[in-house]
Structure 1
Amino acid sequence: MTSTESPLSETSLAAASSQPSAVAGTPAVVSDQPAAASGWRRFTLDWLLHRPPLHVALAYLAVLALAEILTTLIDARVGLVMNSIVLFVLLLHTALAWETPLHRLLVTLAFAPLIRLLSLSLPLAEFPRVYWYFITSVPLFVAAFLVARLLDFSLDGLGINLRALPVQGLVALTGLAFGFLEYKILQPDPLAPAFTWQALLVPALILLFSTGFLEELIFRGLMQSTALEVLGRFGLVYVALIFAVLHIGYKSVVDVVFVFAVGFFFGWVVWKTRSIVGVTLAHGLTNIMLFLVMPFLAATAT
């Protein structure tokens, strides 16, 4: 922020106020602008550094939700600007709060505006839609790796392990039901040209890794882990809300509620099992059913 304060010291300002101005008998006027700017900076720093973590987290949630609504209903350029500001503030806030536990949550929250900025700014229109997920996932995978290193996460701490494999298998199967239900809500067009294994293989792998694994790594592996550290068990609800907010673009209130419920379930599973394997497979299968299987099955049924 550019300071509006005068380069004059407080001592020289005080001295100036006691001297006559160029017009005889007229006292010098000292602007209130420097004091106002200083007060605003103190207020901002106080809010960023001394508010309860829950208040800070909810404020960012509200701003992210507003950015998604404006992007969807008003203009994508408005969302681009707003998400840029949110990302900048989050990174600045992280630096200011580096000596507190809150900084770990703030770093991972930065993924929310980053995801939207990439989807809005990358030149994706020239590619088939299924490749959009792959293209945007590349910088996000890099960012996730860097954040994991920065916050000293191990693979096990991220949930990349083989704990409770029978449970993970059962959780994975829920993706079939979730994909069926979400198709009933959204009814999207298929992301593949034909219902053959040759046409479905690459899109299915993209959805599995670029949405299933990536999003679970970010939201449950990184963000939920730090949210639980700072917010306690409410971190499960909070990350599910962030996850749901990023689905406002589908313009369906029912889908946002559905995604919140699924996100909370995924979060609960990861919290109990300390593994993202099952939810990664479930998430991938949800999107495979939603975008690759159900559109063709629904078409043949009519």
Structure 2
Amino acid sequence: MARNSNRSGWEWLLILSIVIAIAITEYIFAYWDVRIGIVLALFTALGIYFVISLKDMSVQVVNSAESLALVPIYILFTSSLPWFFLNQAYLLPCVYAAIMGICFYYIHEKKLSFDELGFKKEKFLKYALLGALIGIPFGTIEYFILKPAPAFPAFGIEHLLIDLVQMILFVGMGEEILFRGLIQRDLTHTFGPAVGILLATSVFTVMHLTWRSVPELVFVFFVGLVLGYLYYKTESLTAPILAHGIGNTILVGILPYIL
């Protein structure tokens, strides 16, 4: 990945302002008023595009701003669309399919290849195993933080398989494409790996404010750093997606039924 941390104060201010705006928006959404959070998400996205259309800046900074703009759009899609007409069983995959649709549109507009994004055949099995091994302890630790209730009256293989597919192919893939494959990738190209991983992880963490749990935020920040480092070192999304998806499956699809 290309690295360039020699940026002007204006460029730093722009990106940090976007990250702070996202954090404020999500905080208000989670703790104060959902309606105000939705409005702030709308104005944050519009503000980003307005500023980058007026100010002459480098391609890398524009890319970082545009990929960060996907987060308030993510908030708008997940909170303001009329999802109520969907059966609850289909809600999660439909929401994350919409998020991936937004990401794929961005990928198409930027003419990125799937290889550039991190979908690589090389060492796939190695990275898949690594992701699985990391995801199991992550899911176990998070269970003891959140203690989610079982989603079904009793454990069933069919329910487990549904959870596994949804958590890997929708939640894991959708969030890892957005936060690692797009946001972290662009921020790393703009500010270097350390800042890129830190800022992307910060955004990933604030998007979990809806859990209203400080221990969960600390844990998610640590997980984000690990997944971000994995993506940076391997240049592959395989391990982050599997770790994310399997961790979530352990969290909601297995441990609530046996502990």
Q: Please give the alpha-carbon distance, in whole angstroms, between the structure 1 residues aligned to 2:128 and 2:233.
A: 11
Corresponding residue of 1:88:
46
Alignment gaps of 5+ in structure 1: 1-49
Q: Give me the TM-score of the superposition, normalised by structure 1.
A: 0.77
The alpha carbon displacement at 1:97 in A equals 4.9
Q: Please give the alpha-carbon distance, in whole angstroms, between the structure 1 residues aligned to 2:152 and 2:70.
A: 28
The alpha carbon displacement at 1:93 in A equals 2.8
The alpha carbon displacement at 1:125 in A equals 4.1
Identity over aligned residues, as a percent? 28
Corresponding residue of 1:257:
218
The alpha carbon displacement at 1:72 in A equals 1.4
The alpha carbon displacement at 1:123 in A equals 2.8
One-letter code aligned to 1:174? I
- The yes-or-no answer on 1:216 pairing with 2:176 is yes
Q: Please give the alpha-carbon distance, in whole angstroms, between the structure 2 residues aligned to 1:93 and 1:296.
A: 50
- Alignment root-mean-square deviation, CA: 1.8
One-letter code aligned to 1:87? A
- The yes-or-no answer on 1:275 pairing with 2:236 is yes
One-letter code aligned to 1:115? Y
- Deviations along 1:180-233, whole A, 9 cap, x unmatched? 111111111233453111223223211211111111111111111100111112
- Deviations along 1:39-95, whole A, 9 cap, x unmatched? xxxxxxxxxxx7532222211111111111111111111101111110111222343
Tell whether the 8 Å contact from 1:163 to 1:273 is kept in structure 2 after alignment. Answer: no
Q: Give me the TM-score of the superposition, normalised by structure 2.
A: 0.89
Corresponding residue of 1:46:
none
Alignment gaps of 5+ in structure 2: 1-7
Corresponding residue of 1:239:
200
Q: Do the aligned partners of residues 170 and 63 (structure 1) sit closer, same or farther apart at CA in structure 2, a change above 3 Å counting? A: same
Corresponding residue of 1:100:
58
Corresponding residue of 2:4:
none
Comparing 152-161 and 164-173, the one that deviates more: 164-173
Tell whether the 8 Å contact from 2:97 to 2:174 is kept in structure 1 after alignment. Answer: no
Tell whether the 8 Å contact from 2:131 to 2:238 is kept in structure 1 after alignment. Answer: no
Correspondent of 2:93 among 117, 121, 134: 134
One-letter code aligned to 1:230? T
- Report which structure shows greater RCO (CA 8 Å, sep ≥6): 2
Correspondent of 1:147 among 106, 109, 120: 106
Corresponding residue of 1:295:
256
Corresponding residue of 2:132:
172
**Quick check: which has more Rg, 1 or 2?**
1
Q: Please give the alpha-carbon distance, in whole angstroms, between the structure 1 residues aligned to 2:88 and 2:218.
A: 25
- Deviations along 1:7-63, whole A, 9 cap, x unmatched? xxxxxxxxxxxxxxxxxxxxxxxxxxxxxxxxxxxxxxxxxxx75322222111111
Q: Please give the alpha-carbon distance, in whole angstroms, between the structure 2 residues aligned to 1:182 and 1:277.
A: 21
